[in-house]
Homo-oligomer: A and B are copies of this chain.
Amino acid sequence: MTGLKIDDVAKQSGLTKRTIRYYEQIGLLASPPRSEGGIRLYSQAHVEMLNKIVSAKEVMGFSLTELQEFIQLSETLEEQRSDYRQFKGTDQQREKLEKVTETIEEQLKLIAQKKKSIVRVEQDLTALYERAKNALHTFKENK
């Protein structure tokens, strides 16, 4: 029984056990090997993957479906990689690759936008903060 059990992973990732299994179920997280008796035995790589998922979800607001797509892209690239070395690329694969790069390009643009928007929200919140601080100040003066 070597490897992390689901509860360890839960603690390290901050997700619940249910969520981890759910992510595996919908194909977001690779299925870890099992013990004889069927208990999931995770590696550190799984934890890192989960961290990336959480990050992408929280930060980018990606839905799990969108995340799946990116993971598939990544896997497609892994697959292709070996094929290319063998000079086996087909036209179909090339088309797929072109779509992939387009999709990523779009997402990178979106990220650029979000960076700007996040600053806007930050400014709004900072303004709110200043007002609150000021109010508190006024308070102390009249005490």
Chain A 66-89 per-residue mask, 1 if CB under 8 angstroms from chain B, else 0:
000010011001001100100101
Shortest distance from the beta carbon of A120 to any chain B beta carbon, whole Å? 6
Given contacts A128-B70, A129-B101, A142-B89, contact A56 B135 (CB under 8 A): no
Number of interface residues of A (CB under 8 A): 46
Q: Which candidate, A5-13, A19-27, A31-39, A108-116, is the interface stretch facing chain B?
A: A108-116
Please state if B108 and A125 are interface contacts (CB–CB under 8 Å): yes
| Residues of chain A at the chain B interface (Cβ within 8 Å) | 52, 55-56, 58-61, 70, 73-74, 77, 80-81, 84, 87, 89, 94, 97-98, 100-101, 104-105, 107-108, 111, 114-115, 117-118, 120-122, 124-126, 128-129, 131-133, 135-136, 138-139, 142
